[in-house]
């Protein structure tokens, strides 16, 4: 029955596809029914491509498009969602912008080609903020995406649509991207899992800023084994991206399976880097309590953190250059159609001096060396997955966090952006709920290119909590809790 199929994990669904117990068409129809049932409440997947998906499924059933069968990450006809920042051939792709409201690309992005080669079937595009800029998922083309745990709240951004689609059982895997937390904060807010891979792990393909390590593509799922499966489907060298490198000899699903035997010895933990970051008090308390679960495995928890310095300012300086590369021409010709946050960040980038850019690079290098020293002593660094719980869906950002008023929409992002600047892989994994029923999560950060390590530690934690077994859920109405 469709209801039974949407409750399968991605790993279970792929296993049944491989044995022929179910077909890709079965899963597409189950997804279509679930999407029809829950979309009115959440608006996660505004663009569907079901006929295209059915054609793809029929080709697989005829024995076509199976060149990668047997390779790591083979998805065998599993339906997936692709973020609406990323082109899918013949499918409306808007980037969340009214400028591209009717855009239909002729060619797919290299990451989509890779996912489809590995047997993934695209059934929908997931909603995103305009050009992915924002910690809440809304745009003028499709409107707001709502959190299924409480539809009065945001799902976060910018991979908000993907996180909601997973939590509600619309799809089994969701593709996304991450600059300052876009795979991790929505995962935290929706009680799913998301990985920001190491730069170069997954192709960015057609990006213009190809030598920047700030923005990456990556996977989102309902549990860590599924996340590892999707990373295996995505990982590897790509001619279109100069930073990519070969997939690992040991698949990520095998690394996760070996997590118990390769458990960490010492774990560094911090809630707010010694008060340097705004942090919700209850979230900090929950995370500090939950991380202690690792002690039952014999792990040593050491409360420590690298000195943060002026890293937030350095992040904004470097991030602004990304906006200049991507948006300067649109700012000059269609400024009135860009949202204020994009105008602000791009204009800031145009005013930065060479000396200021040099300062930001020095600050980033200093922080990386401080992170290096932490990793010389500890296997991973764990933090809260977000600085604040999910906030009012009608807001672009929380008004304040932990009593601190935010200066701009990026004000609460440093708890995720520090891993971005250090070039580290980082996994968001659920750890509980606050007193208002809002999901809370941990962020597991590993040394650069140690994506398997981050996944293993997150997998160990997930096995201890069992929170992944709560999914999928039916969207729930609620009210907005008070700010504190």
* Cβ–Cβ under 8 Å, residues 115 and 233: yes
The residue from 126, 182, 388, 413 that is catalytic is: 182
The residue from 97, 108, 126, 158 that is catalytic is: 158
Q: Which residues contact 360 (CB under 8 A, 6 or more apart)?
A: 313, 314, 315, 317, 318
Residue from 184, 199, 210, 179 nearest 424 by CA: 199
Cα separation, 337 vs 331, in Å, equals: 9
Cα separation, 355 vs 175, in Å, equals: 37
Cα 459 from chain centroid (whole Å): 17
* Cβ–Cβ under 8 Å, residues 158 and 139: no
Cα separation, 461 vs 457, in Å, equals: 6
Cα separation, 240 vs 249, in Å, equals: 22
Catalytic annotation present for 387: no
* Cβ–Cβ under 8 Å, residues 171 and 164: no
Catalytic annotation present for 83: yes
Catalytic annotation present for 413: no
Q: What is the dihedral of CA 410, 211, 161, 129, to 10 degrees?
A: 50
Cα 417 from chain centroid (whole Å): 13
The residue from 83, 118, 125, 339 that is catalytic is: 83
How many degrees, rounded to 5, is the angle at CA 325 between CA 214 and CA 132? Answer: 60
Residue 255 CB neighbours (<10 A): 20
Cα separation, 204 vs 468, in Å, equals: 29
Active-site annotation, residues? 83, 158, 182
């Amino acid at each position: 029955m469709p209801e039974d199929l949407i409750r399968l994990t991605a790993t279970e669904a792929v296993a049944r596809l491989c044995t022929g117990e179910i077909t890709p068409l079965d899963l597409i129809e189950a997804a279509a029914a679930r999407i029809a049932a829950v979309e009115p409440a959440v608006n996660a997947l505004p663009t569907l491509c079901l006929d295209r998906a059915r054609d793809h499924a029929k080709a697989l059933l005829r024995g076509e498009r199976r060149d990668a069968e047997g390779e790591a990450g083979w998805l065998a006809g599993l339906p997936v969602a692709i973020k609406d920042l990323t082109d899918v051939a013949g499918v409306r792709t808007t980037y969340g912008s009214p400028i591209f409201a009717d855009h239909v690309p002729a060619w797919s992005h290299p990451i989509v080609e890779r996912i489809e080669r590995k047997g993934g079937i695209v059934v929908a595009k997931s909603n995103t903020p305009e050009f992915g800029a924002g910690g809440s998922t809304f745009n003028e083309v499709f409107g707001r995406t709502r959190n299924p745990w409480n539809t009065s709240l945001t799902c976060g951004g910018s991979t908000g649509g993907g996180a909601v689609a997973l939590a509600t059982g619309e799809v089994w895997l969701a593709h996304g991207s991450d600059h300052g937390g876009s795979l991790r904060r929505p995962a935290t807010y929706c009680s799913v899992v998301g990985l920001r891979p190491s730069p170069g792990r997954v192709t960015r393909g057609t990006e213009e800023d190809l030598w920047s390590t700030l923005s990456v593509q990556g996977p989102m799922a309902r549990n860590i084994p599924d996340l590892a499966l999707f990373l295996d489907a995505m990982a590897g060298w790509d001619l279109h991206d100069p930073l990519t490198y070969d997939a690992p000899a040991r698949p990520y699903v095998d690394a996760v399976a070996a997590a118990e035997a390769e458990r960490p010895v010492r774990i560094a933990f911090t809630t707010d880097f010694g008060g340097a970051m705004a942090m919700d008090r209850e979230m900090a308390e929950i995370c500090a309590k939950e991380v202690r679960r690792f002690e039952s495995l014999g792990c040593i928890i050491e409360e420590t953190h690298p000195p943060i310095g002026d890293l937030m300012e350095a992040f904004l300086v470097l991030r602004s250059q990304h906006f200049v590369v991507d948006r300067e021409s649109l700012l000059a010709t269609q400024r009135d159609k860009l949202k204020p946050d994009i105008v602000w960040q791009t204009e800031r980038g145009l005013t930065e001096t060479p000396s200021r850019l040099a300062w930001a690079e020095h600050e980033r290098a200093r922080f990386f060396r401080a992170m290096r020293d932490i990793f010389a002593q500890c296997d991973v660094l764990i933090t809260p997955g977000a600085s604040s719980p999910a906030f009012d869906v009608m807001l672009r950002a929380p008004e304040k966090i932990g009593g601190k008023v935010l200066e701009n929409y990026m004000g609460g992002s440093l708890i995720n952006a520090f891993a971005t600047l250090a070039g580290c892989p980082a996994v968001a994994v659920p750890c509980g709920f606050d007193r208002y029923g809002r999901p809370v999560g941990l962020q597991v950060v590993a040394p650069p290119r140690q994506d398997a390590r981050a996944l293993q530690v997150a997998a160990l934690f997930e096995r201890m909590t069992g929170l992944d077994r709560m999914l999928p859920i039916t969207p729930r109405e609620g009210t907005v809790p008070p700010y504190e």
